[in-house]
Structure 1
Amino acid sequence: MQSTRLFRFTAAAFALAFSTTSVATVLVVRAAGPSSKVYPPGKALPESAKIELRSGDSVMLLNTNGARTIRGPGTFAVATNDSPGAGANRRARFSAMRSSAVPLNPSPWNLDITQSGKICVANAGKLTLWRPQKDDAIKLTIKGAGTEQTIDWPAGTDTLAWPAALPVTGGSEYQLSQANSGDSARVTFVTLASAPADNIGTAQSLIANGCNNQLDVLVETAPSMD
């Protein structure tokens, strides 16, 4: 009797594990058009699902392999047979063409000093500043939380560590000003309890907290499955 119960428990556990691994999650990260209310950003779908789009609809889906955009009208399978390798090659070609214009932020966790808005921070001790133009040296003044600090950013460097003396706490707001150009941005920190495990978890956290600039970077750097 005990061996029978053990067999049933093992079989049930195996079935549960199989069903969990075989039903992957796909996340809506962008939506426009008449059906955008049905498929809002943050909506999770199983890979077995199909979505119905009307004329003018556009939905971008993200899974663990990359991102792809579906445009209506029509009924479309959420799953794709495209390989992540092929998508990565297309993304690399896209990035190469894009590099002649505005450089792409390499990580959604970098703080782009040219963008205002909410910034989700998973590791406050390793927050990195990033700038799209690195040819010239600049002076960056960061003001907020009752303090102010000006840092020298050397030419040829596009990243710099956030000053340790300035607190990175949830709700704290800072203004970042460049004396050379007069450009400025205002950011508000949202601190996360821990770093998400994968792109899906990252996208869900960014969407839930309104960190839209970082979501754009995540989508742009994901391999294209189109």
Structure 2
Amino acid sequence: MKTTQLFKIGAAALAFAASSASLATVLVVRAQGPSAKVYPPGKALPESAKIQLQPGDSVMLLNTNGARTLRGPGTFAVAATGGGLAEAANRRARFSAMRSGEVPLNPSPWNVDITQSGKLCVANPSKLTLWRPQKEDGIKLTIRGGSGEQTIDWPAGTDTIAWPASLPVTTGAEYQLSQPESGDTARVTFVTLNSPPGDTIGTAQSLIANGCENQLDVLVDGAPSAD
């Protein structure tokens, strides 16, 4: 093969790589202020994009490196530059550490937090895990909905336990999670995902599209810190 042909092939490969990099996805996960309708949660942006924010605007962006919050007014590059993303991630980590002194954070967006009501997206209904923020004492948890009712004895010292197999999850049905001893009750409605996402961006998109806001909070709080 001639040298000129090799050069052209190499140049084409570099151009393709550069194009692919510029199309890497950044996702809007939170938006407040006048520009929220322009940058709604779920909007995907290439890393090469710039966004214009007005006074009072606040937009949180998520990519595979972590979360970054931009506040207007101003024009901002979507891609993190310098230590911006790392700084935002570190602030979030410090905030999470402060919170963890009072209430631990749910370690997985797929866990069923028994203290939170709302829609809950399910990737694998047959392998659901219940989670509670306080594990010091043993409790009884009564689940009502779908095909019946089940009471679980949750031992002290454990923060997770399997969803009872005798009470299959039904998409669209509401389930009531009650703790008779404390009187605490949460109500969740399950949404089964036909094609469970395999990455952070895909997961966030699915949670936003299906209105699973509590899980989105867990995903964003647990996003990896940027270098």
TM-score (norm 1): 0.88
Q: Secondary structure at the match of 1:70?
A: strand
Q: CA deviation at 1:151?
A: 0.3
Partner residue of 1:3?
Answer: none
> What is the rounded CA distance, in whole Å, between the counterparts of 2:94 and 2:45 in structure 1?
29
Q: CA deviation at 1:175?
A: 0.5
Q: Which amino acid aligns with 1:177?
A: S
Runs (4+) of structure 1 moved beyond 3 Å?
A: 7-18, 82-94
> What is the rounded CA distance, in whole Å, between the counterparts of 1:38 and 1:86 in structure 2?
26
Is residue 28 of structure 1 aligned with residue 28 of structure 2? yes
Partner residue of 1:69?
Answer: 69
Q: CA deviation at 1:169?
A: 2.8
1:197-220: CA deviation from partner (whole Å, max 9, x where unpaired): 111000000000000110011111
Tell me: CA distance 1:87–1:35, structure 2 relative to 1, closer, same or farther (3 Å): closer
Partner residue of 1:195?
Answer: 196
Partner residue of 2:224?
Answer: 223
Q: CA deviation at 1:64?
A: 0.6
Q: Which amino acid aligns with 2:73?
A: P
Identity, % of aligned positions = 77
> What is the rounded CA distance, in whole Å, between the counterparts of 1:113 and 1:28 in structure 2?
27
Relative contact order (C-alpha < 8 Å, sep 6+): which is higher? Answer: 1
Q: Secondary structure at the match of 1:155?
A: coil
Q: CA deviation at 1:123?
A: 1.1
Q: Secondary structure at the match of 2:68?
A: strand
> What is the rounded CA distance, in whole Å, between the counterparts of 1:92 and 1:216 in structure 2?
14
Map 1:70-149 onto structure 2 (within 5 A). 70-81=70-81, 82=83, 91-149=92-150
Tell me: CA distance 1:84–1:74, structure 2 relative to 1, closer, same or farther (3 Å): closer
TM-score (norm 2): 0.88
Q: CA deviation at 1:167?
A: 1.1
Partner residue of 2:52?
Answer: 52
Partner residue of 1:155?
Answer: 156
Tell me: CA distance 1:191–1:133, structure 2 relative to 1, closer, same or farther (3 Å): same
> What is the rounded CA distance, in whole Å, between the counterparts of 1:38 and 1:26 in structure 2?
15
Q: CA deviation at 1:38?
A: 0.7
Which consecutive residues of structure 1, in runs of 5 or more, have no partner in the other structure?
1-6
Using the TM superposition, name which of 161-170 and 53-62 deviates more. 161-170
Tell me: CA distance 1:22–1:203, structure 2 relative to 1, closer, same or farther (3 Å): same
RMSD between aligned alpha carbons? Answer: 2.6
Q: CA deviation at 1:135?
A: 1.1
- Check whether the contact 1:206–1:215 (CA below 8 A) recurs between aligned residues: yes
Tell me: CA distance 1:33–1:91, structure 2 relative to 1, closer, same or farther (3 Å): closer
Using the TM superposition, name which of 7-16 and 35-44 deviates more. 7-16
